[in-house]
Structure 1
Amino acid sequence: MTTSESTRTVNIAEKLAGFTEQWAPRRIARVNDYEVKIAKLQGEFVWHTHEDTDELFLVVSGTLTIRLRAGDVVLNPGEIYVVPRGVEHCPQADEEAAILLFEPTGTANTGAQGGDRTREPVDA
């Protein structure tokens, strides 16, 4: 690691201001074998699971509802929720929300579901 990499900071608000596409994760950092991603969401995503990993959601702005078969979880700015591995879920935001995700490298945003909403994260 170079000195510049070890002292680099990431401004989440600046990174979020750099794109408008929804449901398309942007990678902003790596931590060991994990990626820290941001995304903008509006509307309903697809029901899906991640069989091999938990998924951490942190709401930066807006309100995010994580629909679960057992009942919905509503998150406001500054709140986190961890969807346990293997639990089917469907993120939904009535108005645009910005989130931060923490997932193992290579985790598909649509889990095992796949489909036309699957996106590989790109660097922000």
Structure 2
Amino acid sequence: MITIHYQAINLNEKLSKFNNLWSPKVIGEMNNYQFKLIKIAGDFEWHSHQDTDKVFITLEGEMIIDFRDGQVKISKGEMFILPKGIEMKPSSEKECHIMLVEPRSVNNDGTESELTAANDTWI
């Protein structure tokens, strides 16, 4: 029998539980998809996710995603769906809070590098 907890997830409360940048934290799952919170600032590396699309929802601040042929700004209250396989370089001038929606097994940089965050870290 599955136990259901009838309690809303408070995004601000979850965000207050960590300070490290570029390290997604899982706050929920649905149909093998995870909802993750992440804090970013500065530049990340160029990378792509070959096997899955990604959803970025900006909760606070503004993020920029550079592509080899363009750029998108995602401001507070906006979302962007990135198709799989497109090379990108996310960044933010000031600290920005984002919700990611992606399959359970996806890591933050699409590969294994010194910037790879621990996967499946719940808060």
**Fold-level similarity (TM above 0.5):** yes
Q: Under TM normalisation by the shorter chain, which class is it?
A: over 0.9
Return the TM-score normalized by structure 2. 0.94
- Alpha-carbon deviations, 1:24-81, whole Å to 9, x = none? 1000000111110000000111111111100100000011001111211001101001
Which residue is 1:69 aligned to? 68
Q: Please, which runs of 5 or more residues in structure 1 have no aligned partner?
A: none
Equivalent-residue separation in structure 2 for 1:33 and 1:64 (angstroms):
26
Q: 4+ runs of 1 displaced by more than 3 Å?
A: none
Number of matched pairs: 121
Mapped pair 1:99 → 2:98: yes
Residue 45 (str. 1) matches residue 44 (str. 2)? yes
The residue number in structure 2 matching 1:2 is: 3
> CA distance change for structure 1 residues 20 and 77 in 2, over 3 Å: closer, same or farther?
same
TM-score by length of 1: 0.94
User: Displacement of 1:98 after TM fit?
Assistant: 0.3
Q: Secondary structure at the match of 1:72?
A: strand
Superposed CA RMSD: 0.9
Q: Once the two structures are aligned, what percentage of the paired residues are identical? A: 34
| Structure 2: 5+ residue stretches without partners | none
